[in-house]
Amino acid sequence: MNAMRLLAIETSCDDTGAAVLRNGREVLSNIVSSQISIHQKYGGIVPELASRKHIESIVPIVTEALETAKVTLKEIDGIAVTQGPGLVGSLLIGLSFAKSVAFAAGLPIVGVNHIEAHLSAIFLEADPPPFPFVGLVVSGGHTSLFRMDGFGKYKRLGQTRDDAAGEAFDKVAKLLGLGYPGGPIIDELSKTGDPKAIRFPRPVLSRNSLDFSFSGLKTAVVNYVKGRPEPPGGYSEQLLKDIVSSFQEAVVDVLLRKTLQAAQHQGLKRIVLSGGVAANQRLRERMEEEASRQKLKVYLPSPSFCTDNAAMVGVVGYEYLKRGIRSPLSLNAFSNLPL
């Protein structure tokens, strides 16, 4: 069979992404247009502005993805598009664009679950894991643990009961006036902070639970800050670094503990990290350290495949299209699409 070239589109949140993949693994292009500059001044994503930016960006970004891959639409064999979960107004832009192209060009199309796409980002790397493995999806919207036995074969082992880990990073950064999105900023500042300076709580719920809860940790940071009124010149740079470093350490401790516990419960030796927070350097470092101590293997996608991108959507789309699975052109978007 000839190589299958797929156009993948991702618009679930605030990034407009388009990618071209050969045989679901080889990335010929992966273009992401970030909307950070638009949402920064609000300290978070404004859904209507996100939709409006997607509608401006979608054609230029897809065009750039095709040009970078050096292919024309005529050379594309199928389309993969994120169907949910996400912001419905954002999803609808990518979805209706993808459907229009599929209709006009007579191409098969398949709707992809965004969480499944995150979990599958690791297959874009040179040495992907064999199934089964434990997968942690940790992003701005999700913090969940899965057992993955194959494409389309998932068992959810745990999830957050309140905030996602990325959301906690973003809220703490906003509280301290550090900017948006908080994750990468805190990641960087923490390098010169003391992770042991403040002992924030490590919310683990019950001993055997693989669920997460980050809202109490966020409140602990709020209370800590309230207990130390800002001096006229603002907090010292070192205090800020110590706060974020100690907060990050608490998040990493919890993610580490639950993920290792999940591997142990399932009797699995392979762990895959995914989602924007999986780009966090401290999490990556400590997960590798701890796993090697426990003789487990950790698989880490490159940071650009951790944060939202269309290439990971293409991985999943390829797996389905190659099995003859396609979506009807009545395909709709679902903000809470489960996995």
Instruction: List the x/- string, 83-102, binding to ligand KG4 by CB under 6 A.
Output: --------------------
- For 273, the enclosing helix (H) or strand (E) is strand 270-274
- Of 120, 92, 128, nearest in space to 12 by CA: 92
Q: Which stretch binds ligand KG4 (CB under 6 A): 71-79, 90-98, 180-188, 217-225?
A: 180-188
Does 78 sit near ligand KG4 (CB under 6 A)?
no
Q: Which stretch binds Zn ion (CB under 5 A): 163-171, 227-235, 306-314, 328-336?
A: 306-314
Residues 284-313 that bind ligand KG4 (CB under 6 A): 307-308
Q: CA 82 to CA 101: how far, in whole Å?
A: 15
Partner interacting with residue 319 (select from ligand KG4, Zn ion, none; CB below 5-8 Å by kind): none
Q: Which is nearer to ligand KG4, 160 or 321 (CB)?
A: 160
DSSP designation for 256: H
Does 158 sit near ligand KG4 (CB under 6 A)?
no
Cβ 256 vs Cβ 290: under 8 Å: yes
Among the listed residues 6, 9, 13, 134, the single contact to ligand KG4 using CB under 6 A = 13
Query: By CB neighbour count within 10 A (0-12 exposed, 13-18 middle, 19+ buried), where does 302 fall?
Result: exposed
Residues 135-164 that bind Zn ion (CB under 5 A): 139
Q: Which two tokens stand for residue 10?
A: 């991702």
- Of 231, 250, 244, nearest in space to 192 by CA: 244
Does 129 sit near ligand KG4 (CB under 6 A)?
no
Among the listed residues 141, 301, 314, 317, the single contact to ligand KG4 using CB under 6 A = 141
Among the listed residues 116, 163, 170, 211, the single contact to ligand KG4 using CB under 6 A = 170
Dihedral pair phi/psi, residue 291, rounded to 5°: -65, -40
